[in-house]
């Protein structure tokens, strides 16, 4: 066996353990009995510590040292595989064990304080623990290392290579243009989406979710769809990518668009090249690219006029009591209603990024020391008023709404907006390659779209950085312009504005 083959066998075992850990997480969120939380945490801690031991073992270091002498071409699969493995090992080695323990402890403390603070709508309760979290992640950034901004070190864990220096101007442009668009839309005739809030049979929602998942390409032979409270996609391996959705009787959009969103994530994982299975390249490259796939399917497909020209008759057949008398045009408008609101996860396509930008700017200010945790609620409310024209009536609906910060997850939020920006830039490139993609949707055909995404994005796993992937796929670096143009075009048309 060659040294490389030996290394792959060794690394493959680590991937097997990671896959096992993923299954434990999936189960924890879907079917685990309530009384098993403590033992599950213990099982996961042990699995992850075994993984960490193997990642930072001498055997690993010896392999990487020996293989670095074999001079694989940098751009070859082998070269990229070893580079990615080295990066993973380096990342795993950077944080001292005691620091990880302190952070883990503080996280679980902060989550429980946050739950209480949110329930009691009392930010003061959370202030001390959140301050500690920010102190710790500043230290974490130092351990991880960065060139120009500590935020880069944190953000890089979720979006390799992306930096504050790049995000700031791109997000500023997006913010200005979105605020402008929101003003225009706010002055137009508003949309009544009451038809979305009627009672839709849960059983038939389930049928429709499965149907649309299959239609757009989700492979049930290598996945499954289950109901949960908080929807997610979880890859165990590329051969077992599971999705969940939330069925709400009076808001069928929850299950429908939620399913399409998670299918977008799942198609990425299911499409990674077989040859990367059990290697460091066998996973999605970043959260931003992941989100680009889910948002592309949710919005460019699921909320498009063409898709519904094809699918609406079928939806009407499933819900005649709700939709028999509703025209396609009215339905299309209803699913695309824009309205500034307080809660991120309920936001529409236009306002969604404003929720992210508020968080990004506040994370930066907190990390830089330009904002004190004590002043966070006020800063939050001020930004919501400025960007969205509304002020949270309380902190539970304001800066206490997300779990991320209590979990020490800082630098993650921007990936949602990066995903949105990528989704349009990619979709337009796909249309250039296959000009019929939009027409195909009217006929319920999605093969060319999926084929193009497989070719340009999915198959590559972690071989390329997010920036390389986007540039290779679309011919240019990521910018906010296509997205801004898309929003303006689509929503001015939806709102009947010239």
Active site residues: 262
CA separation for the pair 370, 384 (Å, rounded): 19
- Cα of 254 vs its chain's centroid, Å: 17
Tell whether residue 16 is a contact of a second copy (CB under 8 A). Answer: yes
CA separation for the pair 27, 226 (Å, rounded): 11
Place of tokens 């004590």: 374
Number of residues that bind a second copy (CB under 8 A): 39
Q: Tell me the C-alpha to C-alpha distance, in Å, between residue 459 and each of 37, 294, 431, 446.
A: 36, 16, 19, 17
Tell whether residue 101 is a contact of a second copy (CB under 8 A). Answer: no
Closest separation in Å from C-beta 46 to a second copy: 4
| Helix, strand, or coil (residue 326) | coil
Q: Exactly one of 33, 65, 98, 498 binds a second copy (CB under 8 A); which one? A: 33
Closest separation in Å from C-beta 240 to a second copy: 4
Using a 10 angstrom Cβ sphere, with 0-12 exposed, 13-18 middle and 19 or more buried, the burial of residue 364 is buried
Tell whether residue 194 is a contact of a second copy (CB under 8 A). Answer: no
Tell whether residue 32 is a contact of a second copy (CB under 8 A). Answer: yes
Tell whether residue 35 is a contact of a second copy (CB under 8 A). Answer: yes
Considering all CA atoms of the chain, what is the largest pairwise distance in Å, rounded to the nearest integer? 70
Closest separation in Å from C-beta 253 to a second copy: 27
Q: Exactly one of 3, 46, 343, 372 binds a second copy (CB under 8 A); which one? A: 46
With CA atoms as reference, report the closest residue to 19 among 272, 221, 237.
237
Q: What is the DSSP letter of 494?
A: H
The 249-278 site mask, x for binding a second copy (CB under 8 A), equals ----------------------------xx
Number of Cβ within 10 Å of residue 273's Cβ equals 17
Stretch that binds a second copy, among 90-98, 239-247, 399-407, 482-490 (CB under 8 A): 239-247
Tell whether residue 104 is a contact of a second copy (CB under 8 A). Answer: no
Q: Exactly one of 1, 2, 5, 31 binds a second copy (CB under 8 A); which one? A: 31
Do residues 145 and 154 lie in contact, with contact meaning Cβ atoms separated by under 8 Å?
no
Tell whether residue 222 is a contact of a second copy (CB under 8 A). Answer: yes
Stretch that binds a second copy, among 45-53, 132-140, 209-217, 324-332 (CB under 8 A): 45-53
Sign, CA torsion 356/359/362/364:
negative
Element (H, E) at 172: helix 164-187
Q: Which residue, 24 or 136, is less far from a second copy as judged by CB?
A: 24
CA separation for the pair 121, 77 (Å, rounded): 52
Q: Exactly one of 4, 47, 195, 248 binds a second copy (CB under 8 A); which one? A: 47
Closest separation in Å from C-beta 223 to a second copy: 6
E strand spans, 6-108:
none
Q: Which residue, 206 or 404, is less far from a second copy as judged by CB?
A: 206
Q: Which residue, 228 or 431, is less far from a second copy as judged by CB?
A: 228
DSSP state letters, 35-84 = GGHHHHHHHHHHHHHHHHHHHTSHHHHHHHHHHHTT---TTSHHHHHHHH
* Binding positions for a second copy, rule: CB under 8 A: 12-13, 16-17, 19-21, 23-24, 27, 31-36, 38-40, 42-43, 45-47, 49-50, 219-224, 236-237, 239-240, 242, 277-278
């Amino acid at each position: 066996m060659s040294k490389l083959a030996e290394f792959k066998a060794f690394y493959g075992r680590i991937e097997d353990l990671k896959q096992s850990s993923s299954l434990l997480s999936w189960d924890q969120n879907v079917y685990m009995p309530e009384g098993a939380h403590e033992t599950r945490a213990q099982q996961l801690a042990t699995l992850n510590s075994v993984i960490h031991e193997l990642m930072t073992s001498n055997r690993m270091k010896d392999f990487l040292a020996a293989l670095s002498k074999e001079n694989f071409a940098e751009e070859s699969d082998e070269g990229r595989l070893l580079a990615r493995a080295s990066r993973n090992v380096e990342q795993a080695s950077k944080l001292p064990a005691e620091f990880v323990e302190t952070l883990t402890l503080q996280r679980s403390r902060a989550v429980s304080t946050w739950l209480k603070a949110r329930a009691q709508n009392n930010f003061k309760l959370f202030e001390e623990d959140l301050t500690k979290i920010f102190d710790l992640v500043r230290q974490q950034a130092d351990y991880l290392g960065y060139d120009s901004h500590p935020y880069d070190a944190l953000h890089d864990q979720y979006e390799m290579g992306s930096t504050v220096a790049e995000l700031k101007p791109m997000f500023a442009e997006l913010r200005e243009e979105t605020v402008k668009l929101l003003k225009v839309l706010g002055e137009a005739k508003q949309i009544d989406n009451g038809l979305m809030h009627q009672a839709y049979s849960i059983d038939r929602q389930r049928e429709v979710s499965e149907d649309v998942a299959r239609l757009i390409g989700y492979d049930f032979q290598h996945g499954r769809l289950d109901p949960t409270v908080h929807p997610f996609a979880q890859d165990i391996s590329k051969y077992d990518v599971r999705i969940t959705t939330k069925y709400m009787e009076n808001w069928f959009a929850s299950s429908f668009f939620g399913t399409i969103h998670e299918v977008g994530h799942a198609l990425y994982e299911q499409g990674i090249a077989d040859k990367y299975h059990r290697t460091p390249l066998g996973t999605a490259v970043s959260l931003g690219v992941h989100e680009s796939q889910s948002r592309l399917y949710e919005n460019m497909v699921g909320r498009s006029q063409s898709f519904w020209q094809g699918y609406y008759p079928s939806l009407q057949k499933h819900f005649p009591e709700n939709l028999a008398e509703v025209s396609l045009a009215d339905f299309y408008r209803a699913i695309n209603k824009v309205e500034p609101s307080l809660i991120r996860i309920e936001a529409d396509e236009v306002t969604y990024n404003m929720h992210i930008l508020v968080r990004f700017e506040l994370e930066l200010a907190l990390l830089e020391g330009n904002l004190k945790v004590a002043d966070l609620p006020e800063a939050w409310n001020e930004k919501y008023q400025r960007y969205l024209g509304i002020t949270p009536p309380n902190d539970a609906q304001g800066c206490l709404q997300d779990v991320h910060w209590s979990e020490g997850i800082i630098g993650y939020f921007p990936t949602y907006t990066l995903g949105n920006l990528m989704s349009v830039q990619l979709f337009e490139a796909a249309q250039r390659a296959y000009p019929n993609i939009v027409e195909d949707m009217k006929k319920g055909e999605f093969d060319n779209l999926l084929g193009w995404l497989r070719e340009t994005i999915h198959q590559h796993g972690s071989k390329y950085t997010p920036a390389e992937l986007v540039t290779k796929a679309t011919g240019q670096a990521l910018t906010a312009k296509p997205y801004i143009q898309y929003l303006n075009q689509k929503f001015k048309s939806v709102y009947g504005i010239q």
